[in-house]
Amino acid sequence: MLKINEERFRRFIRKARAAIRRADKTDMRGCAPCKKKLLERMKRPKLPRVLNAEVAFHCRTTPTARPQVADLDLYGRHVLFDANSLLAVEVPESAARYARERRAAPPQANGALWCHHQPQWPLIQSPPLKLVLNVTDRCNLACRYCWVRNAPPDDGKPPTMPIKTAIRALDLLKGRQINVSFFGGEPLLAWDVLEAVAEEARKRTPEGQPRPRLHVTTNATLITATMAAKIKQRGMSVLVSLDGPYKVHEVQRPWPGHNSYAATLGGLIALNSAGVRPYLRATFDDPDTDLAGLLEYFSEIVEAGLASGVSIEPAVLSEGCATGVLTAEGADTLARRYHDAAEWYVARARTGKVLDFAPFRKMIQRILYTRHAKSECGAGQGYMMIDADGSIHACHKGGCEIGHLDYGIDESRRAAWSDNRVYHQRKCMTCWARYLCGGGCRHHRLTLSGDVRGEAEAPCRIKKMLIREALWILAELGPERCKAFIR
């Protein structure tokens, strides 16, 4: 297999080199017969610079695919990116131009630069491996973009998941390592449920087996020293929602009658004192948000030891209540803001300090180590959400019921979610970003088009922005440097 992969790589490099030579010849024919100029031209770096750290592709995924190359103009840098192998090479402008011209040719024309391919990855039919318990829809904050706040008030659900229901949910994981994430609303409002589940998980885990994996997503405003100590004792990982400095956070995530920013920082400090380093999650709902400024702010929080990293997500992607609308103007603004963030990230990396910023890190990892994203997630497969009323949903965002604890999983309802492979989203197969993206979030598709296989334009645009920035960062820093801080 490796042999084939190496062969493919060499073939691709050969083609890229040939493209450069031909493009250079064309250039030379057109210019004045000035020897000096010609010599200067010949001194130009001719070789494409490979941006992947590993060229031993995980090509078992696409062993027979020929390159399908997208030429990307990344702020003056030119990158040829093979959608099938994930090979990324930086080339001189002349070669990029050549590729662009060739791309317009019919796919049969030498077949090299633009070819359609569908891999055959096995469909992994998995029992639930990870459960999200939506322990309550209640929350002490009134975040302006929150879908729970915007949900119909009387949906017949109990306000908090009964402990009995939460314990019954664990039966879905029978015989496997317990892996549970607590979600809400604000899950700490149902602290007794968390405690009961953690204790039950401990009891159900035989001696010598890996301990239960527990996680909580919280606004951290209610964390006390006792809770923090329990969280540490249980080995629970924590994701804290913090949108930015006081002015940003307080406007977006108000706590009527309280200072929500101070309360969240208080929670972070309590966790820190107990030896817990949470990950941060920020949400923004205006495309013209100063993302570079936010990264600067979060880098201070991380340096102070209060968190291990941050993810900043647009509300348009994150919550079911988001409109999903991103105007063309908004998209341009957002792309600029992401690029500012990428410039900040590169400048920071050059000083030897790196902030773990999940959206860039994830994409850089995939390119750097040629890791194909076969799907976006395992929703409806290995991953499921149990709501407070015992209903089972494919995804933690809800509104996608596939069963109930009373009668188990209804396979006919799960069917729509059962195949998550990227090539089952028809439009994705013509998209150059497909094996980095993985096909996008199916819940977004459901929310925006009413169908898990429907269209979701805004998320696609944002995904491609992130991938372009990741490629640009790789071109700026080079794979070796990126390898030093991204594993």
Span of 196-204, 250-258, 347-355, 436-444 interacting with ligand SF4 by CB under 6 A: 436-444
- Helix 358-368 and helix 457-485, axial crossing angle in degrees, nearest 10: 70
Q: How far is the CB of 83 from ligand SF4 (least distance, A)?
A: 9
Residue 7 backbone dihedrals phi, psi, to 5 degrees: -60, -45
- State the nearest-atom distance from the C-beta of 394 to ligand SF4, in Å: 7
Q: Which of 87, 395, 466, 482 binds ligand SF4 (CB under 6 A)?
A: 395
Is 366 an interacting residue with respect to ligand SF4 (CB under 6 A)? no
DSSP string, 207-218: TTSPPPEEEEEE
Helix axes 457-485, 328-350, angle to 10 degrees: 10
Q: Is 130 in the site for ligand SF4 (CB under 6 A)?
A: no
Among residues 170, 448, 460, 466, which is the contact residue for ligand SF4, using CB under 6 A?
460
For 407-413, the CB contacts below 8 A with 24+ separation are: none
Examine residue 320 and tell whether it contacts ligand SF4 (CB under 6 A): no
Instruction: Please tell me whether residue 379 binds ligand SF4 under the rule CB under 6 A.
Output: yes
Q: Which two tokens stand for residue 377?
A: 């997630």
- Provide, rounded to whole angstroms, the least separation between the CB of residue 428 and ligand SF4: 3
Strands across the sheet containing 130-136: 310-314, 279-284, 237-241, 213-218, 179-184, 130-136, 383-386, 391-393, 401-404, 408-409
Is residue 372 involved in binding ligand SF4 (CB under 6 A)?
no
Question: In this chain, which stretch among 45-53, 176-184, 250-258, 458-466 interacts with ligand SF4, using CB under 6 A?
Answer: 458-466
Contact yes or no for 239/217 (Cβ under 8 A): yes
List the x/- string, 321-360, binding to ligand SF4 by CB under 6 A. ----------------------------------------
Whether the CB-CB separation of 368 and 479 falls below 8 Å is answered with: yes
DSSP letters spanning 238-252: EEEE--SSHHHHHHH
Residue with structure tokens 């003056």?
Answer: 76
Measure the CA–CA gap between 88 and 77, rounded to whole angstroms. 12
Report if residue 468 touches ligand SF4, rule: CB under 6 A: no
In whole angstroms, the minimum distance from the beta carbon of 258 to ligand SF4 comes to: 29
Distance between CA 153 and CA 159 in Å, rounded? 10
Q: Does 377 engage in binding with ligand SF4 (CB under 6 A)?
A: yes
* Integer Cα distance of 249 and 241 in angstroms: 10
Among positions 220, 442, 473, 475, the unique one binding ligand SF4 when judged by CB under 6 A: 442
Helices (H), 319-357: 328-350
Query: 352 is written with which tokens?
Result: 């030897």
Q: Does 443 bind ligand SF4 (CB under 6 A)?
A: yes
Q: Judged by CB under 6 A, which of 16, 112, 307, 433 binds ligand SF4? A: 433
- The tokens for 276 are 């817990």
Q: In this complex, which beta carbon is closest to ligand SF4, that of residue 255 or of residue 360?
A: 360
Find the part of the chain contacting ligand SF4 (CB under 6 A) among 11-19, 166-174, 275-283, 430-438. Answer: 430-438
- Give the number of other Cβ atoms within 10 Å of residue 353's Cβ: 12
Residue 481 sits at φ, ψ, to 5 deg, of -65, -40
Contact 362, 356 (CB under 8 A): no
Comparison of 339 and 434: residue with beta carbon closer to ligand SF4: 434
Q: Which stretch binds ligand SF4 (CB under 6 A): 89-97, 256-264, 360-368, 456-464?
A: 456-464
Q: Is 414 in the site for ligand SF4 (CB under 6 A)?
A: no
> Of these, 204, 371, 427, 483, which contacts ligand SF4 (CB under 6 A)?
427
Note whether 441 binds ligand SF4 by CB under 6 A: yes
Cβ proximity of 419 and 165 under 8 Å: no
Is position 169 an interface residue for ligand SF4 (rule: CB under 6 A)?
no
Minimum CB separation of residue 68 from ligand SF4 in Å reads 13
Binding site for ligand SF4 (CB under 6 A): 376-377, 379, 383, 395, 397, 425, 427-428, 431, 433-434, 437, 439-443, 460, 463-464
